[in-house]
Structure 1
Amino acid sequence: MRVRWQPKTLIFAFSGLWLFLSGATSLWGATASILRLNENQILYLFSTSAQVLAGVYGLTLTGFVFFRNELSREEFEDETLADAVESLKRRYFTMLVFITVFVLLTFALSNLAMAKESGGHSLITTLLINSGQSAFGTSLLAISYFIFDVISPKRIELASRALQEKVDPTHGAPTKGNLEDFLRNYNQIEMLLSEYGSSSSITSSLYSSRPVRRTSNVRLAEILMRNERISQLLFSKLRDLITLRNSIIHGADPVVSSEIVAASQQVLSELGVALRVEP
């Protein structure tokens, strides 16, 4: 199974790579330099690097805007994709913020290197040149990783598995729960939520000016909580069960822990009591 690094891990990895490259190349340049660039060469090198990086970053940002709209469309058409799509949006946003900061850092180092070169070659100039070019290379690597991560054909499946690990971290334990019992409990929970939505005319009131679209289970549970029909704790449990079930149907392992099965039975009972319905 493909390893999917978390954004924090990627940030530390790319930052560490830049620091390593900057330190190694600066030390090499200060002690045993292979190339010595004059002022015109340095100006040309950094101005060209900045233009290339700006173009690549701009195209990446533009393409991502269209891709994000496509994700939103998929989420609108299939409510069970909501959790996976939202997790992908958070992931991509975090990575894009990091790339933006790193690109700006590269531009700053490029300007400093060109400005410092006019004052003559020194150790600081060597450090700026090597750090700037290391930042340029690291930025391109980060952008490349981001692009391939965004266009991955298994992005929904990988996001679903990550959500499953978060909601049910013990699903891989030797003692597993019965998936049929979990799905049976969930279907009854969904039926209770649906009946509440129908009896309360929530769907028709929310979508009176356009074609009727079923209110999502998460939204119905949130309405129950805000109307104090269920507690915040029960809402959180409902949210986790909905997330897990949606993750399973979109590529997560079709395995649940015994704790989740017991939790689904408990949630079903508590929801039935809250809505005054015998489960």
Structure 2
Amino acid sequence: MTPIKISVLSTILIVIISGITSLIGLDRPLLSLNENQIFYLYSTSAQVLAGVYGLTLTGFIFFRNELSREEFEDDTLTVAVDSLKERYFNMLLFVTALSIFTLIMSNLVISSESSAQTTFNTIIMNTAQSAFFINLLVIAYFIFDVIAPKRIEKESKVIQQKVDPTPEAEDKGSLESFLTNYNKLEYILQKYGQAYQSEGESRSRRRISNVRLAEFILRAERINQDLFGEIKSLISLRNSIIHGAEPVVSKHMVELSENILQELASALHIKI
């Protein structure tokens, strides 16, 4: 489930649950709390949520660093890792916003308890507890999403669907031809791309990724932005396949890989 879907679903659930519980509380309340019980319940809820959020943030930083380490050791994971980082960051933004909203509602309940506006108090009390409940569920989902096994493989499949949706039987191309074209493309990037890197980058002992080499050639104005985008998509598809996506490609991608290879060779004046 995407972060946007999670955000929308959570918001809808908060509105529905808080609305239903508020109506019940105004008509026939199931529980009647005195002032001390309200203070204790909502102050404790705020403290628990703050503690859980802090632990979640700490764990997220740890796993983010772990993803960065995996990316450093294997540059073919760059696209998948960057996609995961973006997903986790967007989810963390929503968790943060929801946590702030819940804490504000809890403080509002405590501060308005002594007022005579019983209807308003009932609504914000039920809204605060509904937000607290949904918040914990979202945090739990976020935690299990971050620590899920085979997260790289799953994200690779998502990337493959974006770049080259799984083709029908009659539209499948030759994976061997695709990989042959890619290997030739990679050879050109590795052999000629390093000639266009800056002095500071040339001192690095780490193997330079194919996407980075393509960026060097782009900055040297040997290829245009469109060709760079196509090369990047080709690299993403190949890397997603070797990291768990379905080993299939469409005829269109096979033809595109050959065209990209020819265009790159022509731009660099190379015979293949």
Fold equivalence (TM over 0.5) = yes
Alpha carbons 1:175, 1:257 under 8 Å: kept: yes
Alignment counterpart, residue 50 of structure 1, candidates 26, 46, 52: 46
* Match among 188, 206, 212 for residue 201 of structure 2: 206
* TM-score under structure 1 length normalisation: 0.94
Among candidates 230, 250, 256, match of residue 257 of structure 1 = 250
Native 8 Å contact 1:203 1:215 kept in 2: no
Give runs of aligned pairs for residues 1-279 of structure 1, distance below 5 A.
Answer: 5-120=1-116, 122-172=118-168, 174-197=170-193, 200=195, 202=197, 206-208=201-203, 212-279=205-272
- 1:202 CA drift (Å): 4.3
1:239 alignment partner AA: K
Report deviation, 1:172: 4.6
Structure 1 residues 135 and 205, CA gap change in structure 2 (3 angstroms): closer
Name the aligned partner's letter for residue 144 of structure 1: A
How many residues are aligned here? 272
What are the ranges of 5 or more consecutive residues in structure 1 without an aligned counterpart?
none
Kept in 2: contact 1:197–1:203 (CA 8 A): no
Letter in 1 for 2:32: R
Deviations 1:52-101 (A, max 9, x none): 00000001101111111111111011000000000000000000000000
Measure the CA separation in 2 of the matches of 1:177 and 1:171: 9
CA contact (8 A) 2:166 2:250 kept: yes
The RMSD of aligned alpha carbons is 1.5
Unaligned residue ranges in structure 2 (runs of 5+) = none
Q: Among the aligned pairs, what percent are the same residue?
A: 54
Aligned partner of 1:96: which letter?
L
Structure 2: distance between partners of 1:152 and 1:132: 30
How far the C-alpha of 1:115 sits from its partner, in A, is 1.4
Normalised by the size of structure 2, how large is the TM-score? Answer: 0.96
Which amino acid is 1:206 matched to? Answer: E
